[in-house]
A and B are shown apart, each in its own frame.
Chain A
Amino acid sequence: MRDTPNSTRRFRYLWSGRFWLASLMALILSIVIMASMSLWLPEGPAAVDNLIIPLVIFPLIWALCFFYAVMDPSLKRATLVMTALLIINGSLVAASIMGMLS
């Protein structure tokens, strides 16, 4: 993956790793984090906190993922961090869907 800020190609952003990290990856990661939060957040007295809090803060999670992808000077580090978060949270979600957590 390469950053190509000086490229003169039309739609050059489509060839930029950071573009895909900040768009598709940030969206997928934020959805997966929201899903996994419902599994590890405390339920609270009404047993709804773990369901409501991820729903409410989803736009904030997405914004954090997006701005991290945009602002980290090292594209390689940003890719590694976001991929690691995706694997950890995704594994949790997959385990729950397969009934391994019940």
Chain B
Amino acid sequence: MIRMPKAETARMLDIHGWSAVLFGLALYVVVLTGAVVVFAHEIGAWSVSGHKMDGALAGKIDQSMATLTEQVPEEYRHDVSLYQNSAGYLIAFFHTHEKNDSGMLADIGTRFVLDPEDFSIVSRHDGFADDMPDITSSFLEDFFVDLHVRLHAPNPIGLYLTGLLGLLLLVSAISGFIMHRNLIRDLFLSPRGANRLIKKRDKHTLAGTWSILFSIIVAFTGAFFSFATTLGLPVIAITAFEGDQQAAIEAVLGIQDAEDPTPSPFVGVEAIVSRVQQTDAAGSLPTFISIEHPGRVDARVTTFHEPANGQLFGGSHLFNGATGEYLGKKPALGQQPSFGSDLISLVGVFHFGLFAGMLSKIIWLSLGLATCYVTYTGLKLWVARREQQARWRLMGRLTDITAYGTVIAMNGAAIGFLATYHRQPDVVIDWTINGFFAAALVSILVGFIRPAGAATSQILQALMGLSLLVLPIARLITADGDWSVYRLEDNAVVIGMDISLLVLGALFVWLALKATSLKPITSMQAATETTKGATTHG
């Protein structure tokens, strides 16, 4: 603990408590969804019962790309993005850059979704990228990511909101760190069983201590991601580039070569992919390919790769698109390696928990859930101390509804997706969204119709457990194939997700049932116990 005068300590305590009370529920939603989308790709693959053929970018793609190019308006052939989504479909986006209705430069072009096995066209859409309908095969994953990134609010409002919540988490975590009395001792705190409320507060302290560093890291990096393009880049463009955001972006990305529109045949994706897989280049299959000016002498191809074994950062590699010549490894930003480029890569690695493969992702999920638990128990303890006032009892209800209801609503979205993806693909998006809102409504109704108290929390907890149990069952009923097929097709992630959901669901139902068998705690008991706890713990 940093020793501070009494007035400053009281001020810090006020900030820590009130920031959580005012914005804690929104923060809970962002942190929970953030913890879940650490496994976004796995969720994407699970939601469609396993990705289709892997490694489509290494296939015989050139003929199909040439055919597609002929179907695309001339002005959209300026650049091409190529990648495989987590469901396995190949996305080819032929595009250029034009000002949209807001006067901002945006990608406009033709987007094809292709079957990875024969490169046949699954769907085609034209227009601004932001206006195109979502790709159904990755919609569930995208829905959860969007909930985390911008709470489904329109840009840039959504990013400002999550950015502010990131700053708020930073304030809560740093103020908690400053006020923490026994940081090391509390890492090994054993929750005392004297009474339920003190036990709960000890658990709150324990989870908070373990997740405090994580909270500071994700709050800091998350606020950066939200504000970098919506606030930081425009401000720096005004300051250093006379307001020219495009010039600022080009300076950051390192666009250097003068354009040369002289026609020249494109060397093809196959040659580039084959070359980049050699050990003196990336030595791996790219996850994303960006082609600039195909069919011109100044064509450039950049391939993006996941981190190799033992490496912290993924890499990108540059090729001459006219000759196929390997031009070397490309830093994330700029034309040469730099501290700034490494710094931004590091921010990504730490925000997404990518520093130690699957292990770090599991750790990030666990710490994210621990942060949610800290938020939930913190709010419940705050409410328990003020339960005599009606507005705080309402806050208690809202806390339960948000804590369990967010999970129930996400599960509702997943059930809506699973129910329609294989059988009625035209309505997948509607059913996913409707599933989310229907499940949220059920949580709200249960939370408000029932009398406030522990029993309502337990019902919501049981509902959450049941909704988790329904997910793998719904997936097995609606999809073809069984676990043995997924194992053979290198889709073990589906089996892993099914088992995890079953275990988690059963655990929450069991916890809810176990809790109902205990004597419910009364309001007055809670207030008395909290007061006692404050004197013995603090």
Chain B residues whose C-beta falls within 8 Å of the C-beta of A56 in the assembled complex: 224, 228, 340, 343-344, 347
Q: A22 to nearest B CB, angstroms?
A: 8
Chain A residues whose C-beta falls within 8 Å of the C-beta of B452 in the assembled complex: none
Q: Which residues of A from 33 to 84 have beta carbons under 8 Å from B?
A: 34-36, 38-39, 44-56, 58-60, 62-63, 66-67, 70-71, 73
- Is the pair A31, B231 in contact by a Cβ cutoff of 8 Å? yes
Chain A residues whose C-beta falls within 8 Å of the C-beta of B347 in the assembled complex: 56
Instruction: Map CB proximity to B onto A9-23 as digits: 1 under 8 Å, 0 otherwise.
Output: 000000000100000
Residue of chain A at shortest CB distance from B232: A55
- Is the pair A59, B224 in contact by a Cβ cutoff of 8 Å? yes
Contact stretch, chosen from B90-98, B115-123, B167-175: B167-175
- Is the pair A71, B220 in contact by a Cβ cutoff of 8 Å? no
Q: Which residues of B from 45 to 104 have beta carbons under 8 Å from A?
A: none
Residue of chain A at shortest CB distance from B238: A97
Chain B residues whose C-beta falls within 8 Å of the C-beta of A5 in the assembled complex: 7, 10-11
- Is the pair A46, B240 in contact by a Cβ cutoff of 8 Å? no
State the CA gap A34–B223 with chains docked (Å).
14
Interface centre among A36, A50, A52, A71 (most CB of B within 10 A): A52
Verify if B334 is at the interface (C-beta below 8 Å from A).
Answer: yes
Verify if B433 is at the interface (C-beta below 8 Å from A).
Answer: no
Contact residue among B4, B11, B236, B254 (Cβ-Cβ distance under 8 Å from A34): B236
Chain A residues whose C-beta falls within 8 Å of the C-beta of B170 in the assembled complex: 59, 63
Q: A95 to nearest B CB, angstroms?
A: 10
Verify if A96 is at the interface (C-beta below 8 Å from B).
Answer: yes
Instruction: Map CB proximity to A onto B218-241 as digits: 1 under 8 Å, 0 otherwise.
Output: 011001100110011101101110
Chain B residues whose C-beta falls within 8 Å of the C-beta of A73 in the assembled complex: 5, 7-8
State the CA gap A12–B293 with chains docked (Å).
60
Beyond A46-B334, A63-B174, is A53–B227 a contact (Cβ under 8 Å)? no
State the CA gap A56–B347 with chains docked (Å).
8
Beyond A46-B334, A73-B7, is A53–B340 a contact (Cβ under 8 Å)? yes
Contact residue among B15, B166, B224, B340 (Cβ-Cβ distance under 8 Å from A49): B340
- Is the pair A46, B233 in contact by a Cβ cutoff of 8 Å? no
State the CA gap A55–B336 with chains docked (Å).
19
Verify if A93 is at the interface (C-beta below 8 Å from B).
Answer: yes
State the CA gap A48–B255 with chains docked (Å).
12
Contact residue among B10, B11, B344 (Cβ-Cβ distance under 8 Å from A52): B344
Q: B21 to nearest A CB, angstroms?
A: 14
Chain A residues whose C-beta falls within 8 Å of the C-beta of B220 in the assembled complex: 59-60, 63
Residue of chain A at shortest CB distance from B346: A56
- Is the pair B235, A48 in contact by a Cβ cutoff of 8 Å? no
Beyond A38-B239, A59-B224, A73-B5, is A46–B174 a contact (Cβ under 8 Å)? no
Chain B residues whose C-beta falls within 8 Å of the C-beta of A38 in the assembled complex: 236, 239-240
- Is the pair B166, A59 in contact by a Cβ cutoff of 8 Å? yes
- Is the pair B239, A55 in contact by a Cβ cutoff of 8 Å? no
Verify if B248 is at the interface (C-beta below 8 Å from A).
Answer: yes
Interface centre among B11, B236, B333 (most CB of A within 10 A): B236
- Is the pair B235, A62 in contact by a Cβ cutoff of 8 Å? no
Contact residue among B11, B223, B238, B341 (Cβ-Cβ distance under 8 Å from A48): B341
Chain A residues whose C-beta falls within 8 Å of the C-beta of B10 in the assembled complex: 5
Beyond A59-B170, A60-B220, is A51–B340 a contact (Cβ under 8 Å)? yes
Chain A residues whose C-beta falls within 8 Å of the C-beta of B340 in the assembled complex: 44, 46, 48-53, 56
Residue of chain A at shortest CB distance from B220: A59
Verify if B323 is at the interface (C-beta below 8 Å from A).
Answer: no
- Is the pair A52, B239 in contact by a Cβ cutoff of 8 Å? no
- Is the pair A49, B338 in contact by a Cβ cutoff of 8 Å? yes
- Is the pair A46, B335 in contact by a Cβ cutoff of 8 Å? yes
Beyond A35-B238, A47-B334, A53-B343, is A59–B232 a contact (Cβ under 8 Å)? no
State the CA gap A37–B221 with chains docked (Å).
19
- Is the pair B254, A46 in contact by a Cβ cutoff of 8 Å? yes
Beyond A46-B335, A70-B11, is A51–B4 a contact (Cβ under 8 Å)? no
- Is the pair A54, B236 in contact by a Cβ cutoff of 8 Å? yes
- Is the pair A34, B334 in contact by a Cβ cutoff of 8 Å? no
Q: A5 to nearest B CB, angstroms?
A: 7
Beyond A59-B167, A97-B239, is A46–B333 a contact (Cβ under 8 Å)? yes
State the CA gap A38–B238 with chains docked (Å).
11
Chain B residues whose C-beta falls within 8 Å of the C-beta of A55 in the assembled complex: 224, 228, 232-233, 236
Chain B residues whose C-beta falls within 8 Å of the C-beta of A53 in the assembled complex: 339-340, 343
Verify if B252 is at the interface (C-beta below 8 Å from A).
Answer: yes
- Is the pair B11, A46 in contact by a Cβ cutoff of 8 Å? no
- Is the pair B240, A39 in contact by a Cβ cutoff of 8 Å? yes
Verify if B331 is at the interface (C-beta below 8 Å from A).
Answer: yes
State the CA gap A92–B343 with chains docked (Å).
25
Verify if B12 is at the interface (C-beta below 8 Å from A).
Answer: yes
State the CA gap A41–B4 with chains docked (Å).
34
State the CA gap A70–B11 with chains docked (Å).
7
Show the binding face of B for A, using Cβ within 8 Å: 4-5, 7-8, 10-12, 15, 166-167, 170-171, 174, 219-220, 223-224, 227-228, 231-233, 235-236, 238-240, 242, 248, 251-252, 254, 331, 333-341, 343-344, 347
Closest A-B pairs by Cβ, 6 of them: A46-B334, A52-B340, A46-B338, A59-B223, A49-B340, A48-B334
Ordered by A's residue number, 30 sampled pairs between the chains whose C-beta atoms are within 8 Å are A5-B7, A5-B10, A18-B11, A31-B235, A34-B235, A35-B235, A38-B236, A38-B239, A44-B338, A45-B337, A46-B334, A46-B338, A48-B333, A48-B338, A49-B340, A52-B343, A52-B344, A54-B236, A56-B224, A56-B347, A58-B227, A58-B232, A60-B220, A62-B167, A67-B174, A70-B11, A71-B4, A71-B11, A96-B240, A97-B238
* Given A46-B331, A51-B251, A71-B12, 15 extra CB contacts under 8 A: A34-B236, A36-B239, A46-B335, A46-B338, A47-B251, A49-B338, A51-B252, A52-B333, A52-B344, A54-B232, A56-B347, A59-B224, A63-B174, A67-B174, A93-B239
